[in-house]
Chains A and B, each alone.
Chain A
Amino acid sequence: MFNNLSERLSGALKTIGGKNKLTEANISDSLREVRMALLEADVALPVVMAFIDQVKARALGTEVATSLSAGQTFIKIVNEELTKLMGEANESLNLATQPPAVILMAGLQGAGKTTSTAKLAKHLIEKEKKKVLLVSADVYRPAAIDQLETLAGQVGAEFFPSQIKQKPVKIAQAAIKHARKTAADVVIVDTAGRLAIDAEMMAEIKAVHKAANPVETLFVVDSMTGQDAANTAKAFHDALPLTGVILTKADGDARGGAALSIRFITGKPIKFIGTGEKAEALEPFHPDRLASRILGMGDVLSLIEEVEQKVDQQKAEKLARKISKGKGFTLVDMKEQLEQVAGMGDLAGMLGKLPGMGQMAGQINNANMNKDMRRQIAIINSMTPKERRNPLIISGSRKRRIANGSGLQIADVNRLLKQHKQMEKMMKKMGKGGMAKMMRGMGGGGMPPGGMGGGMPPGGGLPPGMGGGMPPMGGGGNFPFK
């Protein structure tokens, strides 16, 4: 199964190749992949279709800038359109009104309204020094009022008690009246979960809205929601003048396509995301991050920044040139690579930012990996320059010397040599077909050994310092920015 758009696109973008204009013919494969990726990310089908049309309209006839390849240009358009669609960053609550400012929470059952009510209260109390009153108009769900009361206590908000035999409209009115008396700045009215097709319940919340006259009416939606997000968002949007959206449970691994559907259909900004069950787990919304999450592109931008700081680009380019010329991959080169990677520090953190690498990131233990790499470097350091250039001459007695010199075992030296051989083989492959392909469309610029990722043979070499064999890299290695 495809994990993300970059994997999907790695094949399709080849058809765009080095062309200097995007045309119907050369982008159709890529558009199709974008469509699939969006559907897999739970973006609602009508929204996917409209989005694709938009991307297509913009892409067609676009001249490819000299600094970019056609594939990059396409990706850029997709990303920009998506980010644009996701809306402005972090639009905060607008509470400018004669106090008390009322916030009304609405949404399906179990979406996270009550929890979000408490989170908002905490946010307003701590960040904006507001006096906040919470009230529950949920007279249906067992213990819903208790739940809010407990949460109010936890976040230090005032709680206005209600009873299940009361009418929601009356509850809201009484709470607002109380807030006025006690000079509360904000009243947040929690409501029962309801289905958009439940006419009676939708009428009820409309009545509550009318009575409470909120400045903010927030639609709370679960980020795991599928295609139904479109129907539900439309129905709530039609029934209530929504002012914003809270996207909950974003701490999971859902791709969050629902956010795009809702944004597209309601046009309302996503104001916060919920990232946990605790009251502090409320974060501002970053459209660009969600866009790349939906597309599965990872947090590529911040990774680029990090790499810029940490990598010696000249060395990288030198190696690339050398290999693309078919020259051998020596132990000196290997050491250089090891040093570069070791120098990057938090590998797990960096991996986490790469599309499709999240799983791997979870498995990496930075400390162990660094220890392994330092050992490998120590072994190479104990060699003579001649041995580094030509490892074939390393005999039994030389191995013993190297092992002693680095304070390790002969077995460690053997492993290093084996790993070097495997890397060398891989590099050779790269040097032939693979590398040449990578070079295409790259202009005059240097060639970092990106080919290693793109063209790694499935089941290829043992990475230095790593015990087991390496599973196939698959499309994950084919980063589409070529």
Chain B
Amino acid sequence: MTQKNAFFLVRWIRGLLALFGRLFGASSKAAPQDFDSKLEAGMGKSRSGFVERLASLVGASKTIDRSLLDDIETTLLTADVGVDATRQITDELTDALSRKELKDSATLWARIRNSLLGILENSQTPLSLPESDEQPSPFVILMVGVNGVGKTTTIGKLAKRFQDQGKSVMLAAGDTFRAAAVEQLKTWGERNNVPVVAQGTGADSASVIFDALSSAKAKGIDVVLADTAGRLHTADNLMSELAKIRRVVQKFDPSAPHETLLVVDAVTGQNALNQATEFHETAKLSGVVVTKLDGTAKGGVIFAIAKRLGLPIRFVGVGEGIDDLGEFKPETFVDALLGKVSEESVQ
């Protein structure tokens, strides 16, 4: 068979299957061309110059040109902001530029910053714990996410944070799968001097967490931080296990889990959006934690997540130490993403 015929056949079978199939997920929007042509225009140039260029424009009444917009685009794309969100921002800027609203680099800077902050508008709600004496049973926080993102480490850091706020804390070793996951959490328990409820590897995760809740309630503990095994959002069986954990927790306290945090590794690319969507569907997320922001990765995919799910971003992880956790500050995040220099240099 010639290659041409083979291709025809593929088309043909596709058509047939389309007729006989049940569901098609794809939609067929046409590609907006503007963004693309701009991207193309910028291709030949150095991609690192945004901040410097911006800085060089300070004070000078140089006009803002296309190439500067291209640099902005590069900055966003290389920060994992993603094609769609980047396109939205650069479209806005292009409009503003053509309406002659962007007189100088300071205006431009403010504009991008505001665009990005606008996307994070609904993501700024910090986690607030109830007053201890108002609680009939513990405040339950469930940590979920794909493998290796920093769930267990974040629990260790949060335990410290909540204790500093005067709360009593207990940890539940819900990762009963990964080798030494229990030992890892126990180490964090020792560092914080808080109790860890655990069974052996291979135990039922939901029942470990249920045990922890019962024990916490009996002891009058304020906050239970429940660890879960890392799982890919595409693994149906593991996602149903997570749904089960949720059901069991609700059996203990219908209002629990009071917080379900998705942990996202800043180094993750566009896949984080799939992760967030799937985990939200199964585990009804109430917030996001972005870890490993101490590295060179910018975590720009958070914008796509914020846009799609509007979830609050509760905390950011900036290291492996117990204190390397902060509340999410959109301004800081955006400034870091755009390059720290820019803020000082463009006032």
Residues of A in contact with B (beta carbons under 8 Å apart): 1-3, 7-8, 11-12, 28, 31-33, 35-36, 39-42, 44-46, 49, 52, 67-69, 72, 108-112, 140-144, 146-151, 154, 195-197, 222, 224-228, 231-232, 249, 251-255, 257-258, 277, 300, 303-304, 307-308, 311, 313, 316, 320, 337, 340-341, 344, 347, 350-351, 354, 356-357, 359-360, 363-364, 369, 373, 423, 438, 442-443, 445, 447-454, 456, 461, 463-466, 468, 470-479, 481-482
Contacts and interface: CB of A to CB of B under 8 A. Distances in A.
Given A110-B265, A479-B10, A251 B16 contact: no
A251 B40 CA distance: 33
Given A141-B184, A143-B183, 12 more contacts: A49-B43, A49-B47, A68-B4, A108-B267, A195-B292, A224-B146, A226-B267, A227-B77, A232-B295, A254-B274, A311-B13, A360-B25
B179 A154 contact: yes
Contacts of B266: 228
B187 A142 contact: yes
A143 B187 contact: yes
Contacts of B165: none
Nearest to B186: A143
B212 to A, nearest CB: 19
B84 interface: yes
A150 B184 CA distance: 13
Nearest to A476: B26
A224 B83 contact: no
B12 A67 contact: no
Interface string B223-265: 0000000101111000000000000000000000000000001
B292 A448 contact: no
Interface string B269-288: 11110100000000000000
Q: Which of A7, A109, A443, A471 has the most CB of B within 10 A?
A: A109
A257 B23 contact: no
Interface residues of B, number: 85
A447 B18 CA distance: 18
Pairs of residues from A and B, 8 with the lowest C-beta to C-beta distance, nearest first: A226-B269, A110-B148, A453-B15, A450-B11, A452-B15, A42-B269, A142-B187, A481-B7
B166 interface: no
A472 B24 contact: yes
A307 B300 CA distance: 42
A257 B18 contact: no
A150 B180 contact: yes
A479 B3 CA distance: 15
Contacts of B16: 337, 340-341, 449, 452-453
B218 interface: no
Contacts of B146: 224, 249, 252
B177 interface: yes
Given A35-B39, A253-B234, A360-B23, A110 B11 contact: no
A160 B186 CA distance: 23
A20 to B, nearest CB: 15
Given A45-B78, A450-B8, A224 B271 contact: yes
A172 to B, nearest CB: 21
Nearest to A152: B179
Contacts of A40: 82-83, 270
